[in-house]
Every structure is written in structure tokens, then in C-alpha cells.
Amino acid sequence: MAYKKVLTIQDISCIGQCSMTVALPILSASGTETCILPSAVLSNHTAGFSGFTFRDLSEDMPGISAQWKKDRIHFDAVYTGYLGSIEQIGYVRNIIKTHCKGPVIVDPAMADNGKLYVGFDAAYAEEMAKLCCEADITLPNITEACLMTGTEYRTSYDRDYIESLLAKLRERGAKTIVMTGVSYREGRTGVVVNVNGVSTYYEHRKFETGCHGTGDVYASAFVGALMQGFNEQEAARIAADFTLLCIEKTVGDESHWYGVKFELALPAYIRMLGLS
């Protein structure tokens, strides 16, 4: 069994089952040593609560990196999610350059359903687009892919629309693209994995109600599978099956509107990876 060390950079939302509080347990369950660099600390995530506190940790990043440098700390991969500011994207770029000796996986984690998350603007989206295009693998949803390519967001589309989004991302320099939430027919959705310009599609059932945090659950499970030696297509399928199971365990509980009960699906994830 591979034992890899990954650094994940994303926020700590104290409440809400997203970003670091899902990445850390999911990556650990995958048998991956997980180091963390919090981008910001929030009282809770920014979607649906009455408000939120936000402490940007950008300023701490250069010092943390300088200390790691003294001890020659390196990671087998770096996986980034929700970041705190444009300035921070620059720090993250330097940390990747200094400490990463393997693949860089960037989840833009900035928009969904045609809209940027509260607190982000077009300038942030543009800087994040650049980071995604520098990465070895990026995992945008359709909204994020549209923002990154200046394309009009549509809820109704066909394969040509998705392929043109992928082509535009590749023109901007994107390498492997894992596009989530791609639905070509009623009741079904899936993920397109584009490697070297060639797309494969994994389709699965679609739940009518979307759950918050599934993008983070998906990206974390994908990275965990990748670290275990699965290729991009296999990792994309495992992450999709796991995310579906997380949603299945959550739907019907209206008190749990803020996230998914991913903990209940972790044993199944471990089995999907062949670890038990």
C-alpha cells in the first residue's frame, strides 16, 4: 500500500462540513498522511447561515513556508481548495514551488449554480483560473469552468457545450480536467475526465436536491484515491460513488441542510479503495 504525504490548503469552516473538516478525515481514511495549511478560519461556511466571521491567514503563510524550508519539508502532492484572497494565491504558488515534488491538484472552490460564492469577485476568479491552469489536475464544476473561460453559464446544454468549455480551458493551459456535475439526460449526472484532450464520462444517478459541500467531498475523495495509485478515471469514479453515498445518507434530514453526513460513508470509501 502506498503511503503518500499530501499538503492540503483550504479554509477551516468551524461549522458546516466543508473544506478542511472534510478533506482531513477523507484523506486520512484513504491512508494518506495529510498536512494542512489553513487559508482562513470562518465561524461557518458562507452559504445559508445568517452571516460568518472570517480571519484571513495569508500573512502567516510566508513564515510557515520559511520554517518548513529549514527542515526541508516536501510533499508528494499539494491539493488546494477554498482560498482566502488574491494575495494568498501568490503565496500558495510559492509554497507549491518550494515544497511540492509531485502532482498539484487545484479545486477552484469559488462558485456554483451560476454564481460566485459570497466574498469573491471577478478579479479573484481570474487569479484562481490562472492557478487552476498551472496545476496538473483541476476540478471545476460547470459554473467555475464558465468563469475561467468567459463563457455564458447555461443550465441546459449538450456535449458540444461541455467539450467547448474543456477546449477553452486547455487553450488557457489547463492539463487534466475533472469536470463535475455534468448532466446529459434527465435524472442522471456525472463527471467528465479530460486527459490530454480526450474526454471520458462516468454517469450516475442524480439526486434532485443538491447538498452543500459535495464539491469538497468529491475533490478530497478523488485526491485520496489518486494517492492510493488509482488513475484519474478510476479516482473520478470512486469519488463519484462515494459522494453519491454521502448524499444518500443525508437526504431526507432537513435539519442537516448545511453539509453531507460523509462520516457515515467513510467505511465504504475505505472498501472502494481496497483498503479493508
Interface with ligand PXL, residue 259, by CB under 6 A: no
**Cα–Cα distance list, 221 to 64, 102, 127, 168, 262 (Å):** 26, 18, 25, 26, 11
Does the protein bind ligand PXL through residue 13 (CB under 6 A)?
yes
> Burial code of 72-108, b = ≥16 C-beta within 10 A, e = fewer?
eeebbbbbbbbbbbbebbebbbebbeebbebbbbbbb
Distance separating alpha carbons of residues 82 and 101, to the nearest angstrom: 22
One character per residue 29-68, x = contact with ligand PXL (rule: CB under 6 A): -------------x--xxx---------------------
Q: Does 176 bind ligand PXL (CB under 6 A)?
A: no
Site string for ligand PXL, 104-143 (x = CB under 6 A): -----x-------x--------------------------
Residue 18 sits in the site that holds ligand PXL (CB under 6 A): yes
Q: Smallest distance from the beta carbon of 257 to ligand PXL, in angstroms?
A: 13
45 CB contacts (<8 Å, ≥6 apart)?
Answer: 13, 15, 16, 18, 19, 52, 212, 213, 258, 259
Q: Which stretch binds ligand PXL (CB under 6 A): 30-38, 126-134, 167-175, 210-218?
A: 210-218
The contact set with ligand PXL (CB under 6 A) reads 11, 13, 18-19, 42, 45-47, 82, 109, 117, 213, 215-216
